[in-house]
Each structure stands twice: as structure tokens, then as C-alpha cells.
Amino acid sequence: MTHPVELLAEYVDGALMPSDQALVDAHLAGCRSCRNEIEAADAARRALSTLDAPSSVPSGVGAPALAEMSRTRSGATTPRWIRVLPIAAAAVLVGLLAVVIPRIGSDASGDATSAPETVAADQRGELRLVAGNRDLDPSSLEAAAEAYVSDQRIAEAAEASGVAGASAAAPPAPTLGIAKTEAALACVRSAFEGFPGTVVGLERVIFEGSPAILATVLEGPGAGQPPDTVSLWVASVPDCSTVSIASASL
């Protein structure tokens, strides 16, 4: 005997056509299990009807979408000039900062209130803020930049040898939603305003005991050329000031 599972939901709903109703009735007359299921399903359906509506929707549910619409309409996208900075100037700037400001702290950069609405580039749509809890400091940040480079080389070697999926990586950390990702991206872009590069990774971290956002940034000569430098930017939260930076050559 075949149990008419696809008809049982509508049987409980009382929504079957008469012919199907008769078919199910005939089946139920000889099938105790289906009778039990019908009773259970009917009780569950009635139980669900007793649920109260959830509390009212929290404010701001539509705010990120409306803000993006406003940004789009006003034409405020990523400043294109960032991408056409002279290569030498960019490299010198990044190299200098890596040496001079391993940790800027929250000095004069506290004035990070200028509009951080420069999130159109990077990897929007693919980028997701990782809810990590790594504990970093300036030296481990340097090590992380080097580790990124070696990971990339391993991945490239695996790809070149046709060994797909060879990465024996740990399971991915949980990621957060689009709105939080965009807020984190805006924060690091604010902290590192004017710095070139494409953000390819965002992670919540603890930097020297304080919450921060770690951005992985690829920099290159542009004009279709592949990136040649990876930089790790650290911005404090919630004030979005520059905390540290490290870079390595790819």
C-alpha cells in the first residue's frame, strides 16, 4: 500500500477535492499509522494557530537599504582616484606606514567622522564579515600577513597542479550579514581613508585587548595587473580609527 503523503496536508486543511477526499478516507479506514499522523498533524496545525504574533518589528530594518539607495542616487561611490594613484606613491606610502605606525592608537585620528560611504568597490556581494575572535598584536599581525602570502602560494600551487580542493583548511568561521559587513567595511575605509587597495576579507578581532576590525587588502599596479601586495589593516571599533597595518609582498 502506498500512503498518500502528498494529500495528507490538504486533508488536514480540509481542502481536498471530493475525489481525493474519498481516496484518503478509504485509505485511512485501513491504515492506523496514517490515522495517527492525521490526528497529530491536525493538533500541530491547531497549536500553530495559537501562536501570538511576534513583538513589533524593530526600528531600522530598512535603514541600510534606504541608505544604499541614497548613496547610489547621490553618486557617492568609491572614489575612482584611489585606484589610479601612482604605483610608486602607493607602495612608498604603504611601506612607510608599515614601519612607522605599527600602532598608532587613538591619537589625532579620532576625527573619523568624515563620511565613510566608500564601500562600492572591494568585493561587495561576496565579502562577509567573519565573526572571529583572534587575539592579535603588531607582531602577530606581521606574521598573519606573511601567512596570507604563503597560503596564497600553496593555493596557487594546488590549483596549478590541478588538485582541486586540496586545502586542508579548518572549517570556516561563522560570518555575519550584509549590513554588518558593510558597516565594518565603512569603518575600515574611514580609518584608512585614501589608502589604495581592494578589501577582500573582513574579520572581527581583538587587537591588543580591544575590539577591532581586521581588513585584508590586496594592492597592485591596477590596469588589469594582478595584485602584488597584501596589507592587513586594523581599525578600532566603534570609533573607526587607525590602529595598525602590516603588509607583505605577494
Partner 1 sequence: MNDPTSDEELVRRSLNGDESAFGSLIERHQDRVYRVCLRVLRDSEEARDAAQDTFLTVFRKLAQFRGDAAFTTWLHRIAVNSCYDALRSKRRRPLLQAIGDEQDGPLELGPPVDDHADEIAGAIDVESALAAIAPDHRIVLTLADIEDLPYEQIATILDLPIGTVKSRVHRGRVALAQALGIGQTPSPSKGLTEPAQGEGPSEGSP
Q: Evaluate the CA torsion angle 216, 217, 218, 219 in order and state its sign.
A: negative
Q: Compare residues 32 and 80 and give the one whose CB is closer to partner 1.
A: 32
CB of 177 to partner 1, least distance (A): 4
Position 136: which residue type? L
Q: Compare residues 1 and 223 and give the one whose CB is closer to partner 1.
A: 1
Q: Compare residues 60 and 162 and give the one whose CB is closer to partner 1.
A: 60
Position 62: which residue type? G
CB of 140 to partner 1, least distance (A): 25
CB of 204 to partner 1, least distance (A): 13
Comparing CA positions, the residue from 144, 54, 145 lying closest to residue 94 is: 145
Q: Compare residues 103 and 124 and give the one whose CB is closer to partner 1.
A: 124
CB of 23 to partner 1, least distance (A): 14
DSSP string, 97-129: HHHH-S--TTSGGG---S-----SSTTTTT--E
Q: How many CA atoms lie within 13 A of 52 on its CB side?
A: 3
CB of 55 to partner 1, least distance (A): 8
Q: Compare residues 31 and 149 and give the one whose CB is closer to partner 1.
A: 31
CB of 198 to partner 1, least distance (A): 19
Q: Compare residues 3 and 153 and give the one whose CB is closer to partner 1.
A: 3
Site of interaction with partner 1 (CB under 8 A): 1-3, 5-10, 12, 30-37, 39-51, 53-58, 60-66, 68-70, 73, 125, 128, 131, 171, 174-180, 182
Measured CA to CA, the distance from residue 221 to residue 47 in angstroms comes to: 63
Q: Within 10 Å of residue 242's Cβ, how many Cβ atoms?
A: 25
- Residue 203's DSSP bridge partners are 130, 214
Position 103: which residue type? R
